[in-house]
Amino acid sequence: MDNLNQYKLHEIIDAHSLQHIQDRFSKMTNLSTVTVDKLGNPVTAPSNFSKFCTLIRSSKVGYERCTNCDAEGGLKSMLLKKPIIYTCHAGLTDLCAPIVVNDIYLGCMLCGQVLLKENKDKSTVDLKKLSMELDLPIKELEYALNHIKTSKYNKLIDAADFLSLFSNLIAKMGIANISHAELLKETKEKMKFQQLAKDAQIKSIQSQINPHFLFNTLNTISGMALMENCDITADLIYALSDILRYSIKNSEDMVKISTEIDSIEKYLFIQSVRYSDKFSYDLKISEEVLNYKIPAMTLQPLIENAIIHGLEPKNGPGKITIHGNIASDKLAIIKIEDNGVGMTSDKLNMIINNINSSNKLESIGIKLVQDRLLYYFGSEFSIKINSIPYVGTTVYIKIPLTY
């Protein structure tokens, strides 16, 4: 974590768990224990505190001295990067284990409040001076001092080593929890951003559908209103109205393939009237495919491409074949085939890879379909294009069977 400095010790550790373990440690070693931050402020309640130290801390001056002493002990152990044993301001022996993660000092664990058995005469403690400076009754100090535990120096060394391992393990667990939480938050934010990007992308995709179909159709309707009977004109208007209603109503939805095919039939009807005898179509979708779902308006851009770039430049009439079948127990396949002018392999590769901006208009149908299928199906779909010059083009779409 690069931003570890911004955290305080109480924000990193689980104080409840630390308190429980600290209490057990104190009971096991018979040593008073407390965990403090880098300023000497306790982040846990004292465990097994001595009467003497409790009395000292009952004085305002005594509490400040204890806090400062704890901070100084932690600072010294941090600078030495190891546990230390020292004499506190009141004359008792304490030990301090620094909590250091990634070379950043966060606080320390303190324990002790003992007299060394090597100093049997208690000469390190000046009760008279403490009584005067802290305004505490000397008899109470004497009574409390008589209850202070004694410990061998070697035992404190062992306790210090154990405390050091223990305190840093807890800190590293806390850091790991924070890192996990930050990663989870980052991941959620990233996913949220990706979803917003996808939403924006799909709306952008929907807005890119080539408008020339709509304008040309309206022109066809206008011309036929003058030249043909009103029945055909009405049929064209109804078909166009249904297509527009379908695209607006279902623009962000998955629909049954049968619903998509109904719209495609209306689209093909309009185009067949527009181009008169220029092309015909064969639409055969297996009954077992019709109840599965597909993103709305997926097939129209491909059929439009077949008409505009395959059949329109062709000399003489052409044909579009649209077939759909179950490919396996997990996939359906829809084939859109035209016998138009086709394209060379170089041109096909440029369209597939979308690397030639001059061909962007020619490849937009494939790109729209690919983007829509990727949005809804992820990597569970595939698009394959075969094309032979002067023979025609075939597009295969495989999609997962989705209800």
State whether residue 330 is helix, strand or coil.
coil
Read off the DSSP letter of residue 379: T
Give 357's pLDDT tier (boundaries 50, 70, 90).
very low
Flag whether pLDDT at 2 surpasses 60: no
Q: What is the pLDDT of residues 203-262, one digit of tens each?
A: 555 544 455 565 566 556 656 655 656 677 767 777 777 787 777 666 667 899 999 999
CATH of the domain at 87: 3.30.450.40
Residue 317 token pair: 């009439």
Q: Say whether both 81 and 143 belong to one domain.
A: yes
Q: Is residue 242 domain-shared with residue 334, that is, in the same domain?
A: yes
Mean pLDDT of 316-345: 93
The confidence score (pLDDT) of residue 359 equals 45
The pLDDT, as a whole number, for residue 177 is 60
30-39, 64-73, 88-97, 357-366: segment of lowest average pLDDT: 357-366
Q: Are 372 and 305 in contact (CB under 8 A)?
A: no
Do 165 and 281 lie in one domain? The reply is no
Q: Verify that 8 and 149 share a domain, yes or no.
A: yes
Report the pLDDT value the prediction gives residue 28, as an integer from 0 to 100. 79
Residue 356 has pLDDT above 50, yes or no: no
Q: Whole domain around residue 231: which residue ranges?
A: 211-400
In the prediction, which pLDDT does 70 show? 84
DSSP strands (E only) in 175-298: 254-256, 279-285, 293-295
Is 217 inside a domain boundary?
yes
d(CA 338, CA 306): 6
> What local confidence, expressed as pLDDT, does residue 318 receive?
92
Who has greater pLDDT, 67 or 191? 67
Q: Are residues 262 and 152 in the same domain?
A: no
* 175 and 307 together in one domain: no
Residue of higher predicted confidence among 122 and 339 = 339
Query: Span 179-207, mean pLDDT?
Result: 57
Cβ count near 271 (within 10 Å):
22
Global pTM exceeds 0.85:
no
Q: Tell whether 43 is covered by a domain.
A: yes
Q: What is the per-residue pLDDT for 143? A: 93
pLDDT in tens, 296-305: 889 988 998 8
Same domain for 309 and 172, yes or no, is: no
pLDDT at 195: 62
- Of 149, 184, 219, which one is at a domain's C-terminal end? 184
Mean pLDDT along residues 290-316: 90
* Average pLDDT over all residues of the chain: 80
Residue 59 covered by a domain: yes
DSSP letters spanning 280-291: EEEEEE-GGGTT
Q: Is the pLDDT of residue 56 over 70?
A: yes
The predicted model gives 266-294 an average pLDDT of 89
Local confidence band at 105 (pLDDT 50, 70, 90 cut-offs)? confident
120 pLDDT band (50/70/90 cuts)? low
Do residue 179 and residue 252 come from a single domain? no
Residues 15 and 135 in one domain: yes
**Torsion on CA atoms 283, 285, 287, 293, rounded to nearest 10:** -130
Residue-level pLDDT at 364:
60
* Res. 355: pLDDT tops 50: no
List the CATH number of the domain containing 217: 3.30.565.10
What total of structural domains would you count in the chain?
2
Same domain, 263 and 164: no
pLDDT higher at 400 or 246: 400
- Tell how strand 279-285 and strand 318-326 pair up: parallel
For residues 305 and 240, membership in a common domain is answered with: yes
Three-state DSSP class for residue 158? helix
Cβ atoms within 10 A of the Cβ of 126, count? Answer: 13
Q: Which of 184, 203, 223 is the last residue of a domain?
A: 184
- Tell me which of 184, 202, 229 is where a domain ends: 184
Chain segment 81-91, per-residue pLDDT in tens: 788 889 999 99
Of 121-130, 257-266, 335-344, which gets the smallest average pLDDT?
121-130
Residues 100 and 227 in one domain: no
